[in-house]
Structure 1
Amino acid sequence: MGRLQGRIAIVTGAASGIGKAAVELFLSEGATVVGADVTEGADMACDAGSEEQVRGLIDRVSRDHGGLDIFFANAGISGGFASISEQTAEDWAEILRINLIGPFLAIKYAAPVMKDRGGGSIICTASVAGLRSGAGGAAYSASKAGVINLVQTAAQQLSGTNIRVNAICPGLIETGMTKPIYDMARDRGQEHRIGELTPLQRGGEPIEIARAALFLASDEASYINGQGLVVDGGLASSHPTTRRFDIRML
């Protein structure tokens, strides 16, 4: 208890899943936490891909609570399972807006506030899909690969500020975004097959990602910077997948 005592934190995508679990965990560890989301159930409404709204969120939290120490840029969308040939440029633009521009905006506007307080921790939700193919759609995977590179670049550009920027790369976690996968398996009586491609033979829970975020937010991770922490039950050790060709691209 008390690992974040006295810290001020923002969590996006906070209305459900990983974000909600992180808000509750950060609070239990002594932080003042503001959860933000586009849907009901969070403390503040915020579109994570809107520059005006992200800037406003950080300004308000800093004004109301005296600063900012932790920003967990967790909001994201899956974009569905359409193939490259089926997606439009507009599909890609929206997925990148939320999943990649969102973390960029968090870093851009949180860093100056954190610098004034002597440092801080920015955590971005990436995915094992950003490591290699086989774990997500093309646009989603590209956006998450971008997040991993973004935290590396940001860590370098923030040298000397004592601001750490890291990513978490979850595997299959039961959240609102993955609900269709879980529902489909349950409807078919195949719930036992969820997560069967991981060495742990199961899917993950939101709290397991929230605990990783807590670690990266805390002083226990004081020498971890510019990294992508994989939390996936071992899935990324192989990324086994069934290859499917789209003949329209041949």
Structure 2
Amino acid sequence: MSSHAILKEDESQHFSPYRADGKLYGFVCIVTGATQAIGKAIVHELAAHGAACIYACSDLPSDPYQELADEVNALWPNTKVIGYPYGLKEEDTLTLIDDVLNSWGRLDVFVTSSGLLGPASIAQTAPADLYKTFETNSMAPFFALKYAPPAMAKTTPKGNYPNAAPKDVAYGSIIVVSSVASTYGGCWGPAFTMSSHAALGVVHSGVAVLKGSNVRINAISPGQIDVGVSLQGMDMRGMSNQLPPSDLQSEEVRRKIIGLERAGTAKEVARVAGFLASGFSSYVTGANMVVDGGASVMNPLTVPI
């Protein structure tokens, strides 16, 4: 990109990534896994930043989309939340992006927040389990990297909807929510570790893929996050949970191995997503934002559970 193009973006009052206040007016966003704890918090965060529209996606058709939309609209009435069943497959991604462009003429942020633990041990892990975790944890980011950037290149005049703003230059942000299992093993089980490593690989390879597009790609790797999941009655095959339950750690263990001495919250992960979506991170791409309270640098030999 030429210095002239950068200057043009910097001077554009409508180029939201360069807004001094970090607001996302006019932005059209996609969030997968939007009815899980972290995805739900990210939908709230993007709405708080002023996004015009958020497609709240889940692979479960029965998920409470309307409940989420009502929650968001009670706080941020100018953000339209659209519940969207999304099967995490290539054809689903293409259909979703087509729907977004046909309805809004633009796409600005694509957050892949769907996640699946998989079985906790190698003995429990069948090839089908491994395929399922890869589909959820790393194929969804791959499809976002492959198909979102051309849509993010679309420019459009100002619409007639709330929080509208024109898009006069191409830009976009792809955000991959993974886990600290993206960089080391032992967080839960082998399928979770392998597929999380692959998700971070999508981000690292994406920087070269996106050269010249003005689209950024970054990862968020949460550590021990309290997402309301308990060991009581938990599916130990990990096929209905995104992250290990926080009560795998006792309060004593947290004080010993986490710098901030506590589990994190979904809202704290969402704030990082808001940063990566906004202009506050306009020179950040290919990064892995570790959100673990300092656990991995307090004692790298101690796994976060």
TM value normalised by structure 2: 0.72
The answer as to 2:45 corresponding to 1:25 is yes
5+ unaligned residues in a row in structure 1: which ranges?
A: 243-250
The answer as to 2:46 corresponding to 1:7 is no
Cα offsets for 1:74-117 (capped at 9, x unmatched):
11111131x22331111111110111111101111111101223
Q: Cα–Cα, structure 1 residues 180 and 129, in superposed 2: closer, same or farther, change >3 Å?
A: closer
Indicate the residue corresponding to 2:57 in structure 1: 36
- State the AA in 2 paired with 1:94: K
Indicate the residue corresponding to 2:147 in structure 1: 109
CA drift at 1:28: 1.6
Cα offsets for 1:128-181 (capped at 9, x unmatched):
111112323111111111111211111111100000011001111122536873
Q: Secondary structure at the match of 2:175?
A: strand
Superposition CA RMSD, Å: 2.0
State how far apart, in whole Å, the 1-side matches of 2:189 and 2:173 are: 29
Indicate the residue corresponding to 1:171 in structure 2: 223
Cα offsets for 1:164-199 (capped at 9, x unmatched):
0110011111225368734677xxxx5x35744311
The answer as to 2:285 corresponding to 1:225 is yes
Q: Which stretches of structure 1, 4 residues or longer, exceed 4 Å deviation after superposition?
A: 182-185
Contact kept, 8 Å, 1:2 with 1:30, in 2: the verdict is no
State how far apart, in whole Å, the 2-side matches of 1:168 and 1:180 are: 16
Q: Cα–Cα, structure 1 residues 193 and 16, in superposed 2: closer, same or farther, change >3 Å?
A: farther
Q: Secondary structure at the match of 1:116?
A: coil
Q: Cα–Cα, structure 1 residues 183 and 2, in superposed 2: closer, same or farther, change >3 Å?
A: same
Please show how residues 5-154 of structure 1 align to structure 2 within 5 Å: 5-31=25-51, 32-39=53-60, 40-42=63-65, 43-48=83-88, 50-81=89-120, 83-117=121-155, 118-154=170-206
CA drift at 1:239: 3.8
TM value normalised by structure 1: 0.87
State how far apart, in whole Å, the 1-side matches of 2:122 and 2:22 are: 46
**Equivalent pairs, count:** 235
5+ unaligned residues in a row in structure 2: which ranges?
A: 1-20, 66-82, 156-169, 230-240
Q: Cα–Cα, structure 1 residues 119 and 142, in superposed 2: closer, same or farther, change >3 Å?
A: same
